[in-house]
Amino acid sequence: MVNKKKIEEPVEVYDARLMKLAERNNVPLETIMKEYEELRKQFNNQRLAVNALMNKYRKQVQFQKVMSTKQKAEQIVGFLIGDMGLIDKAEQIRQKAKRYIEQNGVEAAIEEQLVNQAGQILDTREQVYGRPNPKYLEPLDPNLHIRSRTLLGFFKKANSEGPFKFTTIHTEDNILAKAWSNVKFYIPCTTYGIIKEDNEYEMKVNSSTAENTKTVFRPVKEDVDVDKIVMDYAEKHLTKMFEIEQYHEQVKQAWDRRVVIRGIVSWINVDKPTSYGSIWMGLMDSEDETVSVRCLIPDHLTIDFAESSEILVFGRTRRYKTRDEEGELVDADVIVDVYAIYPLVGLTIPRETTNKQQEEEVEISGWVE
């Protein structure tokens, strides 16, 4: 057995370290010595007492640095235009495991470490916020939610004379991510947020959860020319429809890529949603009806316009995949995942009008004498 000896040094060494500690932190030496004596009794070791005291003051300084650089929430005013949708990483893990089991069976899912022998879905996140996940491959709590959401809009700092800027407002707070499901678009409003980036063209804002500055939206009676702000932005950032393929190839590596297109609604499958509730829509070029782009509208966006309406679409390009004759996935056309829709003023046909016309058109007698 190895003999364990206390590592002790002359008292003068500890006194020197304590004096320097007091000097560095601008703390009276009497205070340092008093804290040292308490720790020495606790550890029964001079060196450990000094080590613990130095670490205590290091943590205090680090905390002060974090607090001094931590941004406070600021009030912003503007209007929302779109929603990138609610994402729940925990639910994604559950659904992935369930789909795999349906396609390949339980044993294959166990081999892939998606579930354990008891059939419990496993936490497959290797990292959490950039750090190793301590619960990696442990059973995932069935009640766990890891929600996030990003809203789009045009905002500026409250009381600012500057222009309204394209703004993304992001949250990773479970409660806020769910609460944002009922926000309203194109209505002047105000809220609070932590401004992470503010340049000439756009702002990036993170949510605030503090009680007095919580990122919930309140309507305001503000003189905001919504149409002018949206149209001015679209004019500067518009991508021509015939350029969509080329544009996508240029930006496809950017995870935060965005696109703005303008066109005429040529068809819309409102009555034929996908298994996820999304709606396919065709958008044709206003100058050439032979040029068109397919758009996928998520179920959380409202469709209150009909065919032949002219609209702006804000979204993200994506290379669509389809299956060939042998059942293999192959590249198809570039589509747009829709984040926001702006029906152009004076060029929109309400969806209700079309529905009534269609109902009238199909009215026939089922019994003819």
Contact, 218 vs 190, CB < 8 A? yes
- Angle at 344 (CA atoms; ends 186, 202), nearest 5 degrees: 50
pLDDT tens per residue, range 274-286: 988 999 999 999 9
Q: How far apart, in Å, do the first and last CA atoms of the chain sit?
A: 110
Q: pLDDT band at 353, cuts 50/70/90?
A: low
Domain range 238-354, CATH class: mainly beta
Q: For residue 231, which of 352, 150, 338, 347 has the smallest C-alpha distance?
A: 347
pLDDT tens per residue, range 139-188: 999 899 999 999 999 999 998 888 999 999 999 999 999 999 999 999 99
Mean pLDDT value of segment 227-245: 94
Domain boundaries, the chain: 11-58, 71-233, 238-354
Q: Exposed, middle or buried, 293 (CB in 10 Å: 0-12/13-18/19+)?
A: buried
pTM for the model? 0.74
pLDDT tops 90 at residue 323: no
CA 40 to chain centre: 49
pLDDT tops 50 at residue 71: yes
Q: What is the pLDDT of residue 183?
A: 94
pLDDT tens per residue, range 15-49: 788 888 888 888 888 888 989 999 888 888 888 88
| DSSP-H helix ranges across the chain | 11-24, 29-43, 46-69, 89-104, 106-111, 174-179, 226-237, 244-251, 351-361
Q: pLDDT band at 357, cuts 50/70/90?
A: very low
Which amino acid, 101? Answer: I
Distant-in-sequence, close-in-space partners of 284: CB < 8 Å, separation ≥ 6: 241, 263, 264, 266, 290, 291, 292
